[in-house]
Structure 1
């Protein structure tokens, strides 16, 4: 296993900030080199192309999302309904406040077409989160866990966009209420459980 490189970390932190704040196409390699305090040779040693740097930036964001979602699910291992609500609460508390320009995966994906790494990474993380939601809904005997998980992702995506554009000061409350209603509408009634 190779030791973590401080230069690689600086490059990634700089790219993360600039790509998210200004957009990937708007930020050139020379600017990342200058702001991260490395040489061009050092950057290309760690990231042979800008596409490699884009992929690493999104992989880093995805690793955070994996840890966040898995942490909530693990904390409520025996209560999938509570895990689902806590995921919504974490999204409102952490993500809506920290993603003032919208979802980094959607933003990056919008800048590219076809099978570019940005689009591939966006698809991968969305599929992974949707899959985790579907697993929780299955554990609750939801009537249609696949559709329920897809709808929850749609609501989350809409809420993130709303947070970046609309200035809704009750976004968190509105989001959690909608999220919970979607979940509950697909759960068996007490008589169905009997």
Structure 2
């Protein structure tokens, strides 16, 4: 699975054939097909593995801050800059996979599911902060995250982390009740 993950992410799903995966993973074709009945099953396992990482990361951060939704949101953003931007130099694996398949293909459905799940988790945190527009802001936070991942993959933005964190915080702060905005600003100084 690690070989398929590396090759699918680095080179693209369509560009990598089963024979290449067999050769580089040093397993027989029979062994591979014993675990994955088809290439589509292997692709699904690849995306499941990537989604499971996201689930663990997001839930772990939220669970670490059960009474501090703002802190959880900040830590989620920080985790992206600390972990994900460096790990996804070729962009988001779900977006990359989606680009290779039609809208009705299970790969696209899988990508949509993980993005919706993350967005729902962000929305829940924003609701707990009594944000004025948690649904729209959660969507915007996902857009900013996606844009930052693409920027990290394509641009030579030396300020990507700082720019991303500032935008993330502003989106959150702009919808908070006035007293919460003042507290957020004082924490940032």
Counting matched residue pairs gives 181
Moved beyond 3 Å, runs of 4+: none
SS of match in other structure, 1:123: helix
**Equivalence for 1:183:** 172
Structure 1 contact 54–117 (Cα < 8 Å) conserved:
no
Q: Partners of 1:16 and 1:131 in 2: how far apart?
A: 26
How far residue 147 of structure 1 moved from its aligned partner, in angstroms, is 0.3
- Distance in 1 between residues matched to 2:132 and 2:21, nearest whole Å: 49
* Aligned partner of 1:125 among 94, 105, 114: 114
Q: Does 1:169 align with 2:163?
A: no
Deviations 1:58-78 (A, max 9, x none): 000000000000111111111
Contact 1:58 1:105 in 2 (8 A): yes
Q: Residue 84 of structure 1 aligns with which residue? A: 73
Say whether 1:19 aligns with 2:5: no
Q: What are structure 1's unaligned runs of at least 5 residues?
A: 1-11
Normalising by structure 2, we get a TM-score of 0.94
- Cα drift, residue 191 of structure 1: 9.2
Aligned to 2:128: 139
TM superposition shift of 1:22: 0.3
Structure 1: distance between partners of 2:60 and 2:29 = 37
The 2-side partners of 1:99 and 1:52 are apart by 23
1:41 aligns with 2:41: no
Report what 1:28 is aligned to: 17
The CA deviation string for residues 103-136 of structure 1, in whole angstroms up to 9 with x for no partner, is 0000000000032221111101000000000000
Q: Quote the RMSD (CA, aligned, Å).
A: 1.2
Q: Deviations over 1:34-92 (max 9, x none)?
A: 11111111111111110100000000000000000011111111100011011000000
2:100 aligned partner: 111
1:96 aligns with 2:68: no
